Amino acid sequence: MTRLASKYDAINLAQGFPDFSCPPELKRAAQKALEEDYNQYSLTWGAPILREAIAAKARKYNEIEAEPDENIIVTCGTTEAMVASQLAILDPGDELVIFSPHYENYAPDAVISGARPRYFALDGEEGFAIDEEKFKKVFNSKTRGIILNTPNNPSGKVFSKRELKLVADLCNDHDLVCFTDEIYEHILYDGSEHISIASFPSMRERTVTISGFSKTYSVTGWRVGYAIAERKMAEAIKKMHDFLTVGAPHPLQIACTTALALPDSYYTKLKKDYQKKRDMLFSSLESFGFRCAKPSGAYYIWSDFSGIDPKSNDVEFAENLVKHSGVAGVPGSSFYSNGSGTKKIRFTFSKKVKTLEAACERLERMGQKSVSLG
Ligand SMILES: Cc1ncc(COP(=O)(O)O)c(C=O)c1O
């Protein structure tokens, strides 16, 4: 969709990256790190100063105790942390439970690892709540792990303590590893709270907590993320990471220590700014006839277009929208592996207010012309 957006000169509300600058302190820190000659490989599992800063952040924000040398691996983004962890821990034939709709990379990661994804769909009409009885039936003797993603892309769901407890109990009952992707951990709305499942004592030894700098600090191009895990799992992830990428960009790792030193006010403003953008895009989409799930976290709106165009499927709708209205979103079926989501489209609001206003104007024109997108 990003390619089509550029072909049709459309406003790209498809891919989740900001069109605004990262904090200026971070640019200066990156320049300084280059000048100071952090231009060779770092230690393969990450610059010590960054791992120390991550350990301090994990203790304070996530309530996770981690030893920088034992438990933390700095990777090329959350993306690498997830695939390296799955490759390190899963064996061919293992089953991995994944909630749907889900971020696109999890299923290919499982396939690369030889594992078999087992999907459990959460229904937007039901507020993406977990049907406990049905959920419990997904687990069997081959299940080896589960993927969590909270706050969630694309649904905006933030898993509650009760839901995390359910997942934790199942992990303990079936001796599973939980791979949790918490990249949107600071992007939360309406007072919702981020809880890391690894902060539960029973999950400390069986969780790989994955996060990164892309979203919180608006530096998706820096490619710096990390995994936190118990010593034996961490050792396996370190080896896999070494063979996959050797290391994340050293000067940018150094600059990421400046990110972790930003004051609390940075995170308060981040939430406030994104909440304003969420509210703006949400009310516009609803007034144009989309039925939307209001996100509690992350920066996407999961939108149903049946009321606007009952005939088209998601790919046709998204292609027509980008061609005729000049706004790009992601077809809903990209977030399922079984062909569901064909009446959904995902829009991001990780953009300047000006960009969102222009997108809303274009969508409004589409509504006024009553263009049959199908
Ligand atoms: C849930 C989720 N995880 C991971 C990523 C990618 O993160 P990174 O840039 O750290 O590789 C994204 C990007 O959109 C995402 O939505």
User: pLDDT digit string (tens) for 64-93?
Assistant: 999 999 999 999 999 999 999 999 999 999
Mean pLDDT of 284-307: 95
One-letter amino acid identity for 334?
A: S
pLDDT of 370 > 50? The answer is no
Report yes or no: 197 and 168 within 8 Å, Cβ to Cβ. Answer: yes
* Separation between Cα atoms, residue 220 and residue 225, nearest integer Å: 10
pLDDT at site 126: 82
Q: 118-127, 128-137, 271-280: which range is least confident on average? A: 118-127
Q: What is the mean pLDDT of the chain?
A: 95
pLDDT at site 374: 42
Residue nearest atom 13 of ligand 1, based on CA coordinates: 16
pLDDT at site 369: 57
Q: Which residue has the tokens 């939360």?
A: 188
Q: Can you give the pTM of this predicted structure?
A: 0.96
pLDDT of 373 > 90? The answer is no
Report yes or no: 282 and 292 within 8 Å, Cβ to Cβ. Answer: yes
Give pLDDT tens digits for 141-194. 999 999 999 999 999 999 999 999 999 999 999 999 999 999 999 999 999 999
Query: Going along 56-125, which residue ranges are E strands?
Result: 72-75, 95-100, 116-121
Question: Which atom belonging to ligand 1 lies closest to the Cα atom of 213?
Answer: 10
pLDDT of 354 > 80? The answer is yes
The rounded Å distance from CA 118 to ligand 1 centre is 21
Give pLDDT tens digits for 232-289. 999 999 999 999 999 999 999 999 999 999 999 999 999 999 999 999 999 999 998 9
Judge if the beta carbon of residue 282 lies within 6 A of ligand 1. Answer: no
Mean pLDDT of 111-119: 96
pLDDT at site 34: 98
Give pLDDT tens digits for 2-54. 899 999 999 999 999 999 999 999 999 999 999 999 999 999 999 999 999 99
- Give 238-255 as a DSSP string: HHHHHHHHS-S-HHHHHH
Query: Going along the chain, which residue ranges are E strands?
Result: 11-12, 72-75, 95-100, 116-121, 143-149, 177-181, 207-212, 225-228, 291-293, 300-304, 327-328, 330-331, 344-348
Judge if the beta carbon of residue 75 lies within 6 A of ligand 1. Answer: no
Question: Which atom belonging to ligand 1 lies closest to the Cα atom of 79?
Answer: 11
pLDDT at site 127: 85
pLDDT of 63 > 60? The answer is yes
* Separation between Cα atoms, residue 262 and residue 24, nearest integer Å: 11
The rounded Å distance from CA 283 to ligand 1 centre is 26
The rounded Å distance from CA 372 to ligand 1 centre is 34
Give pLDDT tens digits for 196-209. 999 999 999 999 99
The rounded Å distance from CA 16 to ligand 1 centre is 8
The rounded Å distance from CA 54 to ligand 1 centre is 18
Q: What contacts 287, CB < 8 A, 6 or more positions away?
A: none
Mean pLDDT of 295-321: 96
Percent of the chain exceeding pLDDT 70 equals 98
Question: Which atom belonging to ligand 1 lies closest to the Cα atom of 225?
Answer: 10
* Cβ-based neighbour number of residue 44 at 10 Å: 16
pLDDT at site 367: 67
Domains delineated in the chain: 2-21+265-366 (3.90.1150.10), 24-260 (3.40.640.10)
CA-to-CA separations, 255 to 21, 120, 250, 327, 363, in angstroms, rounded: 15, 39, 9, 34, 39
